[in-house]
């Protein structure tokens, strides 16, 4: 899907923005860049510096004199635009654009172009009117002009998310490689051990519970402890009990509750 998305830059003035665009594209898995009538030399040391290794995309870029040439084979052309224009046009958000991409790009010959205008003046009305729709990146109304490469970054990011969703990669999954979680029984043993220890150190009086154990339960359960973490916590309790025994008895006793795994 991503290989059918073309980024089109019209009349770019700053080589650094071309380099930054190439980097943003490559980061997000896009590779098809078209430069329409650039107003600078596209490949300078600044391009290469900002591209940070993605300058191959600039080397391979299509060159065109007009928008029409650059998007001739595209089945959907979307222009990046500020919100207000004299002639209202279908306006979509970047997120809506992303949501539409999988369907738009399902055909073998389908191509989507995302078109970005000049740093100083954006896209002309004529260019905007060659687009199927306009996409507006929501910005602070008091400071709405995005850097060109930053605008490309945001739309390329939405393209990648749409592609990932299509791959059915789980979103927001935790990074943990399935450490065994503590079982209910292990948790209850821990809470019992915790309460005995808190009584032993004089922190907890079962006659005046003040919801202490309830609060500690809620806190601990919220974290969804792994078994190994619970073992650490029980090891701490056992070490604490040894201190209590030394403090009270002089000659130390091991605690009776010696069902504690070592950490």
Nearer to a second copy, 126 or 173 (CB): 173
Q: Does 140 bind a second copy (CB under 8 A)?
A: yes
According to DSSP, the β-strands at 32-36 and 76-80 are unpaired
* 182-201 residues near a second copy, rule: CB under 8 A: 198, 200-201
> Number of residues in contact with a second copy, rule: CB under 8 A?
84
Binding span for a second copy by CB under 8 A among 4-12, 37-45, 71-79, 245-253: 245-253
Among residues 82, 75, 70, the alpha carbon closest in space to that of 100 is found at: 75
Cα–Cα nearest to 246, from 255, 256, 237: 255
Judged by CB under 8 A, the stretch of 5-13, 35-43, 105-113, 209-217 that binds a second copy is: 209-217
Binding positions for a second copy, 79-118, rule CB under 8 A? 83-85, 88-93, 95-96
State the nearest-atom distance from the C-beta of 153 to a second copy, in Å. Answer: 5
Between CA 47 and CA 20 the distance in angstroms is 7
The candidate with the shortest Cα–Cα distance to 134, out of 98, 86, 83, 99, is: 83
Among 106, 129, 145, 183, binds a second copy (CB under 8 A): 145
Instruction: Provide the 10 A C-beta neighbour count for residue 119.
Output: 16
- Quick one: 62 or 253, whose CB is closer to a second copy? 253
CB-nearer residue toward a second copy: 184 or 203: 203
Single residue of 5, 8, 9, 24 touching a second copy by CB under 8 A: 24
Burial of 64 (0-12, 13-18, 19+ CB in 10 A): middle
Q: Which of 65, 120, 176, 185 binds a second copy (CB under 8 A)?
A: 176
Instruction: Out of 150, 205, 206, 209, name the contact with a second copy by CB under 8 A.
Output: 150
Please give the DSSP secondary-structure letter assigned to residue 146: -
Please report the beta strands in 90-156, taking only residues with DSSP state E, as ranges in sequence order. Answer: 91-92, 112-116, 133-135
């Amino acid at each position: 899907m991503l290989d059918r998305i073309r980024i089109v830059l019209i009349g770019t003035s700053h080589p650094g923005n071309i380099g930054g665009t190439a980097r943003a594209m490559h980061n997000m898995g896009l590779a098809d860049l078209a430069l329409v009538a650039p107003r600078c030399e596209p490949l300078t040391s600044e391009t290469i510096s900002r591209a940070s290794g993605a300058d191959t995309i600039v080397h391979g870029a299509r060159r065109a004199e007009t928008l029409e040439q650059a998007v001739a084979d595209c089945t959907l052309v979307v222009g990046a635009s500020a919100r207000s224009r004299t002639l209202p046009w279908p306006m979509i958000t970047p997120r809506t654009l992303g949501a539409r991409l999988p369907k738009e790009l399902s055909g073998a010959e389908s191509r989507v172009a995302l078109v970005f205008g000049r740093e100083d003046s954006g896209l002309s009305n004529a260019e905007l009117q060659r687009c199927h729709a306009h996409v507006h990146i929501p910005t602070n109304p008091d400071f709405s002009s995005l850097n060109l490469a930053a605008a490309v970054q945001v739309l390329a990011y939405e393209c990648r998310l749409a592609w990932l969703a299509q791959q059915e990669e789980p979103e927001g999954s935790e990074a943990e490689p399935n450490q065994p979680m503590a079982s209910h029984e292990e948790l209850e043993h821990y809470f019992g051990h915790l309460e005995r220890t808190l009584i032993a150190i004089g922190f907890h009086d079962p006659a005046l519970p003040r919801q202490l154990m309830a609060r500690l339960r809620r806190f601990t359960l919220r974290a969804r402890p792994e078994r190994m973490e619970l073992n650490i916590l029980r090891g701490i309790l056992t070490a604490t009990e040894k201190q209590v025994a030394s403090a009270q008895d002089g000659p130390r006793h091991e605690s009776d509750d010696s069902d504690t795994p070592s950490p």
